[in-house]
A and B are shown apart, each in its own frame.
Chain A
Amino acid sequence: MSVIKVEHLTYIYGEGMPDATVALNDVSFEVERGEFLGVIGPTGCGKSTLITHFNGLNRPTKGKLLIDGEDIWAKPKQIRRYRFKVGLVFQYPEYQLFEETVRKDISFGPRNMGLPEEEITQRVEEAARFCGLSPEMLERSPFELSGGQKRRAAIAGVLAMRPEVLVLDEPAAGLDPEGREMILSQVKEYHKQTGATIVLVSHSMEDIAKYADRVLVLQGGEIAMLDTTAHIFARADELVALGLSVPEVTKIFLQLRAKGVDIATDVYTVKYGRDILLDALRRKGGDQHA
């Protein structure tokens, strides 16, 4: 069964006002349990609005949102239950840090869940380990940390709730390449170790290509495409028409094809690209050494 099911969801900002805008228009899809779903789309296409529906921060204007088959707005008073089930990491989450120490900040979520003290300590340490924060860092003030460390501390604050679904909005935005890699590989590690479902919103096609199993493409508040990563990046022309790009490596293969080379174009990771290239070269004559 799908873990999140979106049924004909419509969301309008400022309904009834002169500046009302339709952010999402009759969107329906499902997120499968345990998958790694990438969400892409041009700025203002409704990505952030969509994910704030997943844990009930926004209430659909029309339509339904089901988690584990339950309509989350059936009992609005119990909406908090779903916030612990679906952990949401916002853009620039470091701006939400507020406690005196990193440890206290990470334990904010678990404490709100009403867990016993030992369990909280255990979860905080586990989440810190996942995010690459040393035990010594836990006792420091979050405001003393570097940008990348702050970001990881904030993500640890969500991981400590052990959400079944982890939703991340541009978790690597504004970080250096090393920081990007670190955060995303940790997310992947969490995915592997806990079997949690991951929804990753990103502008970086490389990141999506590298980590996602399936990709959802949003455009103007509607679903433009939803398919496996390979199938999505094979439709490079359509992506470009939507104002999106494709991974650099895919661009190379598209240009090779345009130059008349008989080669596959559904290449979206460098590793797969290497294999395809070597294979093509071998077929061509075998005189080229790998």
Chain B
Amino acid sequence: MLRDITIGQHFPGNSPVHRMDPRAKLLLTIGYIVILFVGSNPLGLALSTVFLVVAYTVAQIPLRLITKSLKPIVPILLFTAVLNLFFVPGDPVFTLWVFTVTWQGLYNVMVLTVRIICLIAGTSLLTYTTSPIVLTDALERLLAPLAKLKVPVHELSMMMTIALRFIPTLIEETDKIMSAQKARGAELDTGKLRERVKALIPVLIPLFVSAFRRADELAMAMECRCYHGGEGRTRLRKLQLGGLDFVLAAVCIAVFVLVGFSGALWGMLPL
């Protein structure tokens, strides 16, 4: 059950997308999100979708994973789709009792759905191909200028690294504790809401106890290695932009610019 969570999951590999500098990937992902909103016309979205499919293919990540990561947001998708379908004023297509479906509504639904899917799939690609540790490293480097404004950038990124590092551990632990309590007859996935909440106590208490124990052990281990914050700390792996990064970034930016102007191009098409 908990194993099915794919958001934030990482699939190690050696494709160009995997090898790309994480800072470049992070910035390009942000760029992609922006461009999805700028180029919210059929041509722009089609280009964005093609771009995504190509990126997934290059990264050797199966497209099936997209459907998996979309599962949790299906209700939101359906909700917005229904709202837009029936409540956008415009030229009617057909009327069903008091509901009227309009062309504008259909258009909105299409744009919205494709945009949300691209949004989720695009950001997922970042986490699929970049390990969380590397990602926070990139974030720390990108936010480094803020340290001048007394923002504790290193501490924040260390906290994030630790939090991300322990998500799989805690999921595994939760799985184990749930199994152990189920073995004693606990019913965790049936019953009414009240009963279910109550049934979680035998899982949550051992989980908290072990999380505190782990935090203690980690703090001890860090102190044993003389960890004293970010000042004067050097890195084992320095992030370095290489030829590959520039080539890939140039390709991406070219596509983004094209998508950015797709609105104007779409208007010029003789439709």
Q: What's the least CB distance linking A98 to chain B, in Å?
A: 4
Q: What's the least CB distance linking A140 to chain B, in Å?
A: 16
The answer on a CB contact under 8 Å between B184 and A112 is yes
Q: What's the least CB distance linking B186 to chain A, in Å?
A: 6
Does B165 count as interface, using CB distance less than 8 angstroms?
no
CB neighbours of A96 from chain B (8 A): 177, 180-181, 202, 206
Q: Please pick, from B183, B185, B202, B210, the residue contacting A90 in the complex, using a CB distance under 8 A.
A: B183
Determine the distance from Cα of A112 to Cα of B173 in the docked complex, in whole angstroms. 22
The answer on a CB contact under 8 Å between B185 and A83 is yes
Does B182 count as interface, using CB distance less than 8 angstroms?
yes
Determine the distance from Cα of A73 to Cα of B187 in the docked complex, in whole angstroms. 17
CB neighbours of A158 from chain B (8 A): 183-184
Does B229 count as interface, using CB distance less than 8 angstroms?
no
Does A84 count as interface, using CB distance less than 8 angstroms?
yes
Near A by CB (< 8 A), chain B positions 166-194 give 173, 176-177, 179-187
Does A254 count as interface, using CB distance less than 8 angstroms?
no
Does B205 count as interface, using CB distance less than 8 angstroms?
yes
Q: Determine the interface band of chain A, counting residues with CB < 8 A from chain B.
A: 20 to 34
Does A102 count as interface, using CB distance less than 8 angstroms?
no
Q: What's the least CB distance linking B101 to chain A, in Å?
A: 36
Q: Which segment of A12-20, A185-193, A206-214, A281-289 sits at the interface?
A: A12-20
The answer on a CB contact under 8 Å between A52 and B179 is yes
CB neighbours of A93 from chain B (8 A): 180
The answer on a CB contact under 8 Å between B183 and A87 is yes
Closest 5 CB pairs of A and B: A112-B185, A98-B205, A109-B184, A96-B180, A88-B183
- Chain B residues in contact with chain A, CB under 8 A? 3, 11, 61-62, 64, 173, 176-177, 179-187, 201-202, 205-206, 209-210
- Chain A residues in contact with chain B, CB under 8 A? 14, 16, 18-19, 52, 55, 57, 80, 83-84, 87-88, 90, 93, 95-98, 108-109, 112-113, 143, 157-158, 161
Other contacts beyond A83-B184, A90-B183, A108-B184: 16, CB < 8 A: A18-B62, A52-B179, A57-B183, A83-B185, A87-B183, A90-B180, A95-B173, A95-B180, A95-B210, A98-B206, A108-B202, A109-B185, A112-B187, A113-B185, A157-B184, A158-B184
List 27 A-B residue pairs with CB atoms under 8 Å apart, sorted by A's residue number.
Answer: A14-B3, A18-B11, A19-B11, A57-B179, A57-B183, A83-B182, A87-B183, A88-B180, A88-B183, A90-B179, A90-B183, A95-B176, A95-B177, A95-B180, A95-B209, A95-B210, A96-B181, A98-B206, A108-B185, A108-B202, A112-B184, A112-B185, A112-B186, A112-B187, A143-B209, A157-B184, A158-B183
